[in-house]
């Protein structure tokens, strides 16, 4: 393996994938949420630049082509596991996350089974959009987790004050609770919408790969 800049960026992204979960081991929330978000965004940006620079400088390599999708899948899978766990197992998140995880494992197994003919399952433009949608959705969900945690802590510290304001009608025009709910809950709803879009694209690309592989699977079965 040549340590070109594109290959180095891919390796760094592969290392950053488990680093997202490590943030929650060594840092308290909401710092863990923000640091995980920064690390994930930094790694996601390298996903664009390693491919772009490899094509620009003609440094494409077989090892880079192999590691690039592995790094992408590791980032998505690990981040989804962390978010699902810290979100209280939200069923509206679990379902699209399940679709994404199932598709990624299924397509990886399909490529391995096809062996030399796995070239038929080369990454399509829609699959690239799928990966982009996944990473954008995950970044928004990380941001929502941090905002929601800050909101919950602020409410816990000021609950008695807020109750007193509501009882006296001071907040009749501007409801403190309403304002505090805008941040985390709205961003979380946006993140859920985006992850459902990503799951739909993931399912479509998975079905496309399966259709391409079906003739070869029938040949093998016969």
Cα(130)–Cα(114) distance, rounded to whole angstroms? 23
| Residue-level pLDDT, tens digit, the chain, 222 residues | 677 888 888 888 999 999 999 999 999 888 899 999 999 999 988 888 887 787 778 777 777 777 888 888 899 999 999 999 888 888 999 999 999 999 988 888 887 777 666 566 667 788 889 989 999 999 999 988 888 777 666 666 555 655 555 555 555 444 545 555 566 778 889 999 999 999 999 999 989 888 887 777 765 545
Please state the pTM of the whole predicted model: 0.81
Tokens describing residue 152: 């919950």
169: region left, alpha or beta (phi > 0 left; psi from -120 to 50 alpha): left
Tokens describing residue 193: 């919408």
- Please give the DSSP secondary-structure letter assigned to residue 172: S
What CA–CA distances, in Å, run from 108 to 15, 69, 88, 122? 20, 10, 29, 12
Tokens describing residue 91: 């069923």
Is domain 5-221 annotated with CATH 3.40.190?
A: no
Q: Where are the domains of the chain?
A: 5-221
């Amino acid at each position: 393996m040549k340590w070109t800049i594109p290959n180095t960026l891919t390796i760094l992204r592969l290392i950053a994938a488990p680093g997202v979960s490590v943030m929650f081991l060594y840092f308290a929330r909401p710092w863990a949420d923000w640091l995980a978000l920064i690390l994930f965004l930094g790694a996601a940006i390298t996903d664009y630049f390693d491919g772009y620079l490899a094509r620009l400088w003609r440094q494409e390599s077989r090892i880079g082509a192999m590691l690039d999708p592995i790094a992408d899948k590791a980032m998505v899978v690990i981040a989804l596991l962390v978010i699902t766990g810290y979100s209280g197992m939200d069923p509206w998140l679990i379902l699209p996350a399940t679709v994404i995880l199932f598709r990624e494992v299924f397509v990886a197994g399909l490529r391995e089974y096809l062996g030399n003919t796995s070239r038929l399952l080369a990454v399509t433009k829609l699959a690239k959009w799928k990966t982009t949608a996944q990473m954008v959705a995950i970044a928004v969900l990380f941001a929502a987790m941090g905002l929601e945690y800050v909101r919950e802590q602020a409410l816990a510290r000021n609950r008695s004050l807020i109750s007193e304001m509501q009882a006296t009608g001071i907040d009749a025009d501007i409801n403190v609770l309403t304002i505090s709910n805008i941040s985390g809950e709205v961003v979380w709803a946006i993140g859920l919408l985006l992850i459902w879009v990503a799951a739909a694209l993931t399912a479509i690309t998975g079905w496309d790969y399966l259709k391409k592989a079906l003739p070869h699977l029938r040949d093998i079965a016969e």
